[in-house]
A and B are shown apart, each in its own frame.
Chain A
Amino acid sequence: MEYILEILGQIGIYIILAMSLNLMCGLTGLLQLGHAGFFAVGAYAAGLVTIYWFQPAWGYGNYAIGAAAAMAAASVCALVVGIPCLRLRGDYLAIATLGFGEIVRICLNNIEFPGCKLTYDEPFGGATGIELPFEAYYSQWWFIWIHVIVIYILLLNLKRSAIGRAFMAIREDEIAARTMGINPARCKIASFLFCAMFAGLAGALFAYNQISLSPNDFTLLRTIEVLLMVVLGGLGSFSGSALAAVILVALPELLRFAPSVGGIQVSEYRQLIFAALLILLIRIVPNGLLGVNEFHDLPRRAITWLRRR
């Protein structure tokens, strides 16, 4: 049971990460590969704030301060990275943000935070992680899921407003968007800010869930995983991102319990099966599981589909 709840919490964090990345990649059409960087900045900001100023009496107040610090730190990073980088287009923006993600990870690998208890000392030395006080375990699975629901609603509201329309207009045709009065620079920065802010919040939740943080939690692989969720769920569909996050986290775990068939332990091949299933899914639904639709669109879509039959 504890194991399942732990996975549930992880799924929640991934959903927030995927939805926030979808805001930038799916809605605004800007490929960003530094998501793990913002996630790390959020996690470390929350972690350090809690390590230095933890007050047992404040309870969840510690969390609130940490989360605020996480979002602020990630937003500042987004501004610093975004203002020069958003002049870049397509692949170049992806490379620049990828660079940011790696810089963050390498910095964290080498900065020694004074007074922080290191989780472990690697033989080659260097600061490899920080450890939060054990009382700071605020991110129970339900706490994470409250965030998931609130952020989901906020992002949907954003998508179905003038701001969301402006983001999508930039994705579709930047020149047309400009001639309709949309300031692309401002919209891109706004999109980047929201993306980073929610990634930072996910980082804070992660910090209060894991207690010990290490730079190895924030590798490029994490960004790729999240991007995979965004693409699999459907670019521009927050519901799709959530669904894909559930599948991509739960599936490898479920495959652990696969029965042995004809003397072959299927669970040992779970990575292979997982990869094959992914390829199969993308073949079947190239636009992602939900395309651009959200959960609440589905009944209407189903009706129009049935009518056409």
Chain B
Amino acid sequence: MVATSVTSRQTGPNSGMSFLLRTRGVIRRFGGVVAVDDVSIDVRCGEIAGLIGPNGAGKTTLFNLITGLDQPDHGTIEFDRRDITTTPAHRLVDLGIARTFQNIRLLDELSVADNVKVACHRSICYTTIHALLRLPRFFREERRIAARCREFLDLFDLGPVCDDTAGSLAYGQRRKLEIARALATGARLLLLDEPAAGMNPQETRDLMDMIRRINSEFKISILLIEHDMKLVMCICDHLFVMDHGKLIAGGTPDDVRQNPKVIEAYLGRRSTSNCP
């Protein structure tokens, strides 16, 4: 089965209910604006956590802090009990953090297959000399990477377009490719920034199934930002709500749904949505 052959990293030794990601008192200021104000969240191993909040609440900034694209002014971020507060983004990939972006960031001029191959960069073990002179190890590694990419692309039904340039894909396929690429890094924690943005209801339902599958088959913990309440309430085990940079609520979707603070700040009225 695909899942067993693709998953390269198992969750940590004490994966039961331990915390995979933990932020403590994280603060990030931009001039006078406090984009992230004293935020502490915990993501458990194997769960799907959601991060919601109105526009400008600081959700993406928090993502940037977690993924090392930005550094917090105060506070600590721990991943798998290791302090990663100041670890640069490219090193976090080794630890197993991968993300997608709100405004899809694909390598448009490169082929679909190459986009996924780039994500395998850290796992390739040949040196520049091997590449320049095309020594046997180069071919061995490239074959391994190509097979691995193929598996991920097939999983997302992107196999038939693997030679097209990423820029020529349709919107839904671009979203999928970005998730495939993030998975190919060998992530244990996947951060999805508005994965359902711009999708129609059918595509959103497919995406929900996809996220559940990634979570259960690959044993990957997921933290996602999303504005689609239906999606969030249905698939998340745990929710965090941010407003004006502050964490205003946290808990199960039902708790959050009934939290007066959340209703006031964000939902406006009691959500009546049902799971499909």
Contact = CB atoms under 8 A, between A and B. Distances in A.
A56 to B, nearest CB: 33
A166 B121 contact: yes
B118 A177 contact: yes
B272 interface: no
Interface string A151-185: 00010011001111110110111011111111110
A87 to B, nearest CB: 14
A24 to B, nearest CB: 16
Contact of A165 (B67, B114, B185): B114
Nearest to B100: A179
Given A158-B128, A163-B128, 20 more contacts: A157-B133, A161-B132, A162-B121, A162-B141, A163-B131, A166-B121, A168-B109, A168-B114, A172-B106, A172-B110, A177-B107, A178-B68, A178-B69, A178-B90, A179-B67, A179-B98, A180-B119, A182-B90, A182-B118, A236-B109
A292 interface: yes
Nearest to B131: A161
Given A180-B118, A181-B121, A162 B107 contact: no
A180 B181 contact: yes
Interface string B90-108: 1101100011010001111
Given A165-B114, A181-B121, A181-B122, A172 B131 contact: no
A172 B109 contact: yes
B69 A175 contact: yes
Interface of B: 67-69, 88-91, 93-94, 98-99, 101, 105-110, 114, 117-122, 124, 126, 128, 131-134, 138, 141-142, 145, 181-182, 185
B121 to A, nearest CB: 5
A165 B121 contact: yes
Interface residues of A, number: 27
A247 interface: no
Contacts of B89: 178-179
A178 B101 CA distance: 13
A183 B90 contact: yes
Nearest to A161: B131
A165 B117 contact: yes
29 contacts: A154-B132, A157-B132, A157-B134, A158-B131, A158-B132, A161-B126, A161-B138, A162-B121, A162-B141, A162-B145, A165-B121, A166-B118, A168-B107, A172-B109, A173-B106, A175-B101, A176-B106, A179-B89, A179-B98, A180-B93, A180-B98, A180-B119, A180-B121, A181-B91, A181-B94, A181-B121, A181-B185, A184-B90, A236-B109
B131 A162 contact: yes
Contacts of B141: 162
Nearest to B104: A176
A177 B105 CA distance: 9
A165 B145 CA distance: 13
With most chain A CB atoms within 10 A of its CB, the pick from B69, B89, B98, B99 is: B89
A8 B145 CA distance: 41
Given A179-B67, A181-B93, A183-B90, A168 B128 contact: no
Nearest to A236: B109
Given A176-B101, A182-B118, A169 B107 contact: yes
A108 to B, nearest CB: 31
A172 B108 contact: yes
Contact of B185 (A164, A173, A180): A180
